Structure 1
Amino acid sequence: MTTAITPRSLDEDLLEPDKPTKPWFSPEKRWALFAVTGVAILSITRVLSGATDLTSSGLTTETLRLTVPFALAALGGLFSERAGVVNIGLEGMMILGTWFGAYGGWHWGVWGGLAFGMLGGALGGGLHATATVIFKVDHIISGVAINLLAPGLCRYLSAAVYANVGEGAGVRQSPPVSGDFPTITIWPLSNALGSIEQHHWFFISDAAGMARGLITDLSLFTLGAIFLVPIIWWILWRTTFGLRLRSVGESPWASESVGVKVIRTKFIAVVISGLLAGMAGVFIVTVTTSTYSEGQTSGRGYIALAALIFGNWRPVSAVGAATLFGYSDAVRLRGASGVAVHAFLLSGAIATALVAIVAAIQGRRKNAIMSGLVSAGLLIWYLTTQTLPKEFLPYTPHIVTLVVAATALRKLRMPKALGIPFRRGEAQ
């Protein structure tokens, strides 16, 4: 006789190892400290380099627009990998989301595009779940296959559907999506913050400018994505379903012994993963642009996977990492001449120097040395150049990913059964 799993049936310390032991340094306070430190670093960079756009409201709005696809895909990967299924196929699921989202948006407007895009991503997730959970295919091979299959399928569908419709459509591009998601601006507060921003006071104007960007021309889709973060955290850490999902990623055999339907839970988790990745694709074709075009995901799925890993498989941390990548992409897009990205080198030098100091205080000698070397390299690069080559600019988010990987202090702990095949009745 088996017993249904409850929140007290498992060792929650095992499933939530990052739970802070010091109440004065709660996760909320930690993220507030990170935010204040980040604004201070950017404020110092603005003063020293003269790159005023680094903390402008316009750049913050652009950052939010570019962060949402990273964040949604990372949250999708969170569901899959917390259930023990590696999801390197996020890129392919995003591509399916862009095509189906654009098709639905062309016929039924942005809300139809949202529904169809989520369905397209979920189909990709279902395919990955079928291969890995049902047929025990290696997770990496299945994910790579989806990343290769998705562009080919979208090219075939475009040739079949868009070849003769006009409106600029063809085998590489869809017709424009009908309509837009409503936008929201809190005008009185936005105007007040804008006035403070124009004074260019150290830190105060920078904080005001960045805050203004968060409440000006905010898409309803973006607002919904923001609300998804606490909702997903609550589902995964405060519900029985979330506990079961995380338990099968830690030890599916122990979960099976207490009555959890492991295969069904894993399957549902991977489908949800694809659904969220599909939402990320819909955002690209309805908010970032207004059409589907080949290659427009530009490797965002891989960067989202990196954000998930840097975020230690936790929702808020993963979104924080996604925001960093979104910001670096926004700097790259708004600084077409390379000046803003060049100033961003100074920000990186300051940030990695702080990481080196913290690592040294904590006794992490290797991290301190690595971060110090990276800081010195970025500072020398900044001081010995005036701008960056245009060929370098498109890879700014990818370079930031490598820098974060080289200097990350936090000890990562992936789910213990991540990537391990599960068969009923077979204890490891």
Structure 2
Amino acid sequence: MSQGALTTPEAPFLEPKTPARRFRVTWRVLLLALGALVLLLSFARTVTGAVDLTSAGAINASIALAIPIGLAALGGLWAERAGVVNIGLEGMMILGTWCGAWGAIQFGNPWAGVLAGAIGGALGGLLHAIATVTFGVDHIISGVAITILGQGVTQFLSKVTFAQMPGGGDSQSPPVPKPEVVSVPWDQIGDPLRTLEAKQWFLLSDVAGILRGLTTNVSLLTILAILLVPLSYYLLWRTAFGLRLRSCGESPVAAESLGVNVYTYKYIAVLVSGALAGIGGAFLAQVAASAYREGQTGGRGFIGLAAMIFGNWRPGGLAGGAVLFGYTDALQLRRGGESVHALLLVVTILLAAVAVYQLVRQNRARAALITGVATVAVFVVFALTDTVPSEFTSVTPHITTLLVLSLAAQRLRPPAAVGAPYRRGQGK
């Protein structure tokens, strides 16, 4: 093209367009979002009088309920990043609850129970890997089968072990040793957080309640579980091992061409996945409760899978999803009607913000209209009622799961080859 051609009116259209800046989640963005959420909860607490929204007890219970969901989600992340759909997380968690209780009782040590729970979950993961990786069974069918198997096996084992122990039964174990809990010794300086929380001041009391909930009566197993999130991020995104494992979930044929043993990495990923779900089950038996009980998982393996999807297959995102589901579960267990009713105001404000974002930033008028209609509907329910029926509050975590997944569906990007069948040499 000649130099003169560059000065024609058509020349600007020949120049490459500058790519739009992609929104990035940074620490500053996360801190701002967290501050805005605390401010919103404080506003809702002040308007409605639902003190449990930011109370220390609710926050402490939220952590206890979020940990097993987060561990199941982390297990799902490991498996699906390697290309294996692990819908059997619920069954592996069930095995973890029984093994965690049995190990702690048998050896008189809660950490032996945690190890036994991890082994029990890993055994479920091994079965899933054999079925899906070696024999090519459909991942969904294998996962459902493992969940059913986990329920049947633990029922049988309870009858032949726990039923013979003092204080046990066919569907529950005797009391289980608990891991040690730690607290910041606020009482040595007059417990200023408790005093500030009791004053019910706007924002200040809410921050005090949240901090007190995060720093009192925290189980050592909770701290270990939290540390597994950054550890998983480091292993999967900052090491050569993690790069190879993730390549198996994106393009196993390309990984094989570079010398990666795809079968080995898939097996490792699913075994780790089962172990993490098993630790989550042990947490339920030792920390969230004082003994193993049949049906103890309550579908948390499936909710963990939803938290993983909400987190877009990233450790930080799934941790946020687990905290969200744990928080709603804690509220409905403590003061269900009053607290869940107050959450309707929070949901109204968040939906209104989403509608404005869809209209102004994304230029999606139809989506903004639908979200706006939902905003009005939720606000009308909030304005015309004083409490929420107990029948509704009991399913609040599951409704939250559906709402979050529906709002997050537009930005999801799963591993490219997740769930796809793979056979060595198929790309040759």
Would you say same fold, with TM above 0.5?
yes
Change (3 A) 1:174 1:135: same
Does the CA contact (< 8 Å) of 2:163 and 2:173 recur in 1? Answer: no
Distance, in Å, in 2 between the alignment partners of 1:190 and 1:116 is 41
Q: Which residue matches 2:260?
A: 260
**C-alpha deviation, 1:26, in angstroms:** 4.4
Distance, in Å, in 2 between the alignment partners of 1:21 and 1:182 is 48
Does the CA contact (< 8 Å) of 1:185 and 1:216 recur in 2? Answer: yes
Distance, in Å, in 2 between the alignment partners of 1:246 and 1:63 is 31
1:335 counterpart SS class: helix
Determine if the alignment matches structure 1 residue 185 to structure 2 residue 196.
no
1:392 counterpart SS class: helix
- Within 5 A, what are the aligned runs for 1:236-247? 236-247=236-247
> 2:236 corresponds to which letter in structure 1?
L
**C-alpha deviation, 1:166, in angstroms:** 2.9
**C-alpha deviation, 1:239, in angstroms:** 0.5
- Greater CA drift, 265-274 or 181-190: 181-190
2:313 counterpart SS class: coil
Q: What 5-or-longer segments of structure 1 have no aligned partner?
A: 1-19
1:104 counterpart SS class: helix
Determine if the alignment matches structure 1 residue 302 to structure 2 residue 305.
no
Distance, in Å, in 2 between the alignment partners of 1:311 and 1:366 is 25
Does the CA contact (< 8 Å) of 1:86 and 1:419 recur in 2? Answer: yes
Change (3 A) 1:415 1:82: same
Q: Which residue matches 1:120?
A: 120
Change (3 A) 1:187 1:144: same
Larger gyration radius, structure 1 or structure 2? 2
Does the CA contact (< 8 Å) of 2:309 and 2:405 recur in 1? Answer: no
Distance, in Å, in 1 between the alignment partners of 2:50 and 2:304 is 28
Distance, in Å, in 2 between the alignment partners of 1:380 and 1:283 is 40
Q: Which residue matches 1:277?
A: 277
- Greater CA drift, 92-101 or 370-379: 370-379
Determine if the alignment matches structure 1 residue 325 to structure 2 residue 325.
yes
1:148-203 Cα offsets, whole Å, 9 max, x none, are 11101111111121233231x2221111113x211111123892332332232222
Q: What 5-or-longer segments of structure 2 have no aligned partner?
A: 1-19
> 1:268 corresponds to which letter in structure 2?
I
Q: Percent identity of the aligned residues?
A: 49
**C-alpha deviation, 1:348, in angstroms:** 1.3
Does the CA contact (< 8 Å) of 1:70 and 1:301 recur in 2? Answer: yes
Determine if the alignment matches structure 1 residue 99 to structure 2 residue 98.
yes
RMSD of the alignment, in Å? 1.8
Q: Which residue matches 2:139?
A: 139
2:53 counterpart SS class: helix
- Greater CA drift, 323-332 or 406-415: 406-415
Distance, in Å, in 1 between the alignment partners of 2:420 and 2:324 is 31
Determine if the alignment matches structure 1 residue 212 to structure 2 residue 246.
no
- Within 5 A, what are the aligned runs for 1:67-82? 67-82=66-81
Does the CA contact (< 8 Å) of 2:180 and 2:219 recur in 1? Answer: yes
1:316-373 Cα offsets, whole Å, 9 max, x none, are 000101100000001001114x111111111111112112222222223344233323
Distance, in Å, in 2 between the alignment partners of 1:30 and 1:368 is 23
Change (3 A) 1:190 1:91: farther
Distance, in Å, in 1 between the alignment partners of 2:288 and 2:370 is 36
**C-alpha deviation, 1:22, in angstroms:** 6.6
Distance, in Å, in 1 between the alignment partners of 2:191 and 2:357 is 38
Q: Which residue matches 2:57?
A: 58
**C-alpha deviation, 1:267, in angstroms:** 0.7
- Within 5 A, what are the aligned runs for 1:283-294? 283-294=283-294
> 2:413 corresponds to which letter in structure 1?
R
**C-alpha deviation, 1:224, in angstroms:** 1.0
> 1:135 corresponds to which letter in structure 2?
F
User: Normalising by the residue count of structure 2, what TM-score does the alignment of the two structures yield?
Assistant: 0.91
